[in-house]
Amino acid sequence: MTTTLNAPATLPGPRLTPRNSERLAMGLLVIQPSPFCNINCDYCYLPNRTDTRRMDFAVLEKVMEKVWNSGLANAPFSLLWHAGEPLAVPMNWYEKAFEIIARHPKAHHYVQHSVQTNGTLVTDAWCDFFKKHEVEVGISIDGPREIHDHHRKTRKGEGSFDKAMRGLECIKRNEVPFGVVTVISDISVDRPDEIYDFYREHGITGIGFNIEEIEGANKSSSLEQTGSDRIRAFFERFFERNKADGFPLNVREFDIARRNILEPGWSSRPGGDYYNMEADPFGMINVDCFGNFSSFSPELLGQPTEKYGSFNFGSLLAGTLFDATQNASFQHVLADIEAGNKKCAETCQFYQYCGGSSPSNKYYENGTFDSTETRQCISTVQIPMQIVLADLEDGLGITASVPPVPTLEERMRA
């Protein structure tokens, strides 16, 4: 890997090196105010979702003190409130929490609050709060009722669609900007038209697709036996419908692919490869409600593992973020992410546009960070890139296209 940054001279022990630290800047801070969630989606990766404990303000003060003092908050960053369900924590908790965060002189210019919610607890008062603090809002909705309710259920086993849609309508009525995250699973992978029509009907214009993943507490995926050809067909049809209507929907996966092709360097390191914050030590900092932290993919926070020990790399109550560099698990994870990305760089034509994608998916799908292809990267990096590239080439009248990359199944058969 290439980088232009040196680690601070004061770093102790086994430490970040110029080889494996890209920017020494934190782009995303994830704070878990509570592990609790008020519903019980069957594909959720988070453990302890019935635990109602909440972060103490003294813990939050310490966390922010350590973040500011680390020197990693040296540019604007996103602060994502991610639980459980973040809105299950009362609004007066956030009033106080935002006040604590705003105390730092840099906070006003550096902190962009965002929240990922299941939508079921959204009220007019929450919308006022979002607007007052310019909070970016993402809502998790999987599509029409039958699709959404298949996996996104309450603890009584009832569907959560009505409540989520009530929240969505409330957000629209209050003119709060929002995006939707949709998980594609067995129930939806063959139904791109229904999902497309649903978005159009409900005025949803910003969408990110996640493929149901084997991750954390979710030990299997309903798509496990699904060939990538079905996922490709989903994305192709969705793209086709969107194009026919003049692209009214912004789909994260296609937007990133298009930008990667048309604006080379928009998110690149000096060497030209894609900057992957998720694989960069301290690019993402994830803190649980007790002040324990991890880095790399947020999905690793609090997860037990045999291979790497704990994904908790330290506590911000007693220590600092850089104490992680003396943590054997951190060093093991970092070394394997590096090794996996090196293999990606040597073997995959998408590496320059991907940077090795999500380490957590490599671990949960392949059993190690020191690996390459996953169902997740095929679905959300490779396939969208191929679709957008083919469309651009069509528009230019180029017929000799890049030969399509064989699917996972095809490679295994070869």
Structure tokens at 27: 């782009």
Beta strands 77-81 and 284-287, pairing class? unpaired
Angle at 9 between CA 8 and CA 11, to 5 degrees: 75
- CB closer to ligand SF4, 295 vs 341: 341
CB 116 within 8 A of CB 78: no
| Structure token digits, residue 270 | 């000096």
Least distance from ligand SF4 to the Cβ atom of residue 356, Å: 5
Cβ 83 to ligand SF4 shortest distance, Å:
28
Tracing tokens 């409330």 back to the chain, one arrives at: 170
State which residue, 221 or 341, has the beta carbon closest to ligand SF4. 341
Q: Which of 206, 202, 203, 225 is nearest to 214 (CA)?
A: 225
Q: How far is the CB of 352 from ligand SF4 (least distance, A)?
A: 8
Pick between residue 289 and residue 377 the one whose CB is nearest to ligand SF4: 377
**β pairing state of 28-31 and 284-287:** parallel
Distance (Å, rounded) from C-alpha 82 to C-alpha 89?
11
Shortest separation between residue 336's beta carbon and ligand SF4, angstroms: 14
Closer CB to ligand SF4, 7 or 408, in the complex:
408
Closest to ligand SF4 by CB, 140 or 372: 372
Cβ of residue 12: shortest distance to ligand SF4, in angstroms?
Answer: 31
Which residue, 149 or 365, is less far from ligand SF4 as judged by CB?
365
Chain residues that interact with ligand SF4, rule: CB under 6 A: 344, 348, 350-351, 354, 356-357, 372-373, 377, 381-382
> In the sheet where 136-140 sits, what is the strand order?
250-251, 206-211, 178-184, 136-140, 111-117, 77-81, 28-31, 284-287, 292-295, 314-315
- Distance in Å, CB of 256 to ligand SF4, minimum: 12
89 versus 381: smaller Cβ distance to ligand SF4: 381
Measured from the CB atom, the residue of 286 and 379 that comes closer to ligand SF4 is 379
Cα-trace Rg, the chain: 21
Min. distance of Cβ 197 from ligand SF4 in angstroms?
30
Minimum distance of ligand SF4 from residue 366's CB (angstroms) = 10
Q: Shortest Cβ distance from residue 384 to ligand SF4 (Å)?
A: 11
Nearer to ligand SF4, 17 or 366 (CB): 366
